[in-house]
Amino acid sequence: MRTSSWIWRITACASALATIVLVIGFIYAWNDINYPQGEPLAAGSDSGSESPSAPGAVPGNGSGADQEEQAGKDEDTTTAQPLPDHLNVTAIGDSLAKGTGDNTGSGFVRRSIDQLNGDGRSAKLLANLAINGMTTEALLPKLDDKGIRYALQRANVIMLSIGGNDLFQNSGLLSEETDPDALEIDPVKLMALLPEASERLQSILQKLRAINPDARIIYVGLYHPFADLKELQIPGNIVVSTWNHSVMEIVNQDPNMTLVPTFDLFQHKLDAYLSSDHFHPNGAGYQAIADRIVQGLK
């Protein structure tokens, strides 16, 4: 009987206490949800102790080499800097960077990283920020996002693929691709799109450089996915190579930027390299791009 009364007392007290605490919590919750008090937040609350490094600092491994690299850069900006031992890759851009069309889902980003690792280099994918259907117009404001800037700052190799959607999607080619006869490419209209788009690309590359002054930026050039359609072959080739050429001119301004050409790779091998949507590369096509990227990084 004694134990019974003790059990009762303890249970009663504990549950009374618990109830009081929980009711208080309930009142707070009700208040907080119904009358949320927005407050201007001090950017960077206390948990973010290791706040993202300033754009100048190259984070991570091989810091000694990085410092030398930076020092070297200050003195001489005309030569490309040697790559550090560990490659930290961040990819950004459109479906090509994402790997759409690749059955394994790897895309050229993962394939080139795998190949680098196989060749004895140490490479790691930090983040793949590519989004299907990305255009230069959509990418530009994205570069102001803190998370994206952070991922770019942490990298020492940035892979960029952009522009394909500017050229081909705006022209309406993609939506009607099943019916090639209905396609009417207007080279004049396409050419008119080019200057704007390449201007935006220039701002993108400048922004990337401002975000990360030391990374190797690899731009993957465009190929012409409709080169096997007679009426599109010549005008399309002209547009694509004009684009690639204008990109080359921008890229040449910066010794640490590279354009990896793909135009010649795909020109006569569309059957072998394109996936079933006839726009994105398949696994073999991505592998071919990756091979080129790796050759430039070895």
Partner 1 sequence: MSNLVPLIQNECLKIMKRKRFYVVLLVLLVLVPMFTYAQMKAAERSQEKFNSDWRLELQQRITDNENSLSSDRVPDEWKRYRQIFIQQMQYYLEHDVNPNHPNGVTFTREFLNNAISLFIPLLIMAIASDIVSGERTSGTIKMLLTRPVKRWKVLLSKLVALLMFVSLIVLSTFIIAYLISGLAFGYKGFDIPVFTGFRIVGSEVDMTGVHAVPQWMYLLMQGGLVWFVGICVAMLAFMVSVLVRSTAASIVIMMAALIAGNILTNMASAWSSAKYLFMVNLNLTDYLAGNLPPIEGMSLNFSLAVLAVWAVCAVIVSFSVFTRRDILN
Residue 25, interface with partner 1 (CB under 8 A)?
yes
Q: Which stretch binds partner 1 (CB under 8 A): 142-150, 176-184, 192-200, 220-228?
A: 142-150
d(CA 93, CA 110): 14
Task: List CB contacts of 269: < 8 A, sequence separation 6 or more.
Answer: none
Nearer to partner 1, 39 or 181 (CB): 39
Task: List CB contacts of 23: < 8 A, sequence separation 6 or more.
Answer: none
d(CA 248, CA 33): 54
Nearer to partner 1, 154 or 200 (CB): 154
- Return the bridge partners of 260, or none: 220
Nearer to partner 1, 6 or 296 (CB): 6
For the chain, the first-to-last Cα distance in angstroms comes to 83
Nearer to partner 1, 131 or 193 (CB): 131
In the complex, minimum distance from the CB of residue 209 to partner 1, in angstroms, rounded to a whole number: 20
Quick one: 120 exposed, middle or buried, by C-beta within 10 A (0-12, 13-18, 19+)?
Answer: exposed
Binding track over 29-48 against partner 1, x by CB under 8 A = xx-xxx-xxxx-x-xxxxxx
d(CA 258, CA 201): 14
Amino acid at position 208, single letter: L
Nearer to partner 1, 34 or 78 (CB): 34
- Footprint of partner 1 on residues 151-190 (CB under 8 A)? 151, 154
Residue 8, interface with partner 1 (CB under 8 A)?
yes
Binding site for partner 1 (CB under 8 A): 4, 7-8, 11-12, 14-16, 18-19, 21-30, 32-34, 36-39, 41, 43-48, 51-52, 98, 124, 126-133, 145-148, 150-151, 154
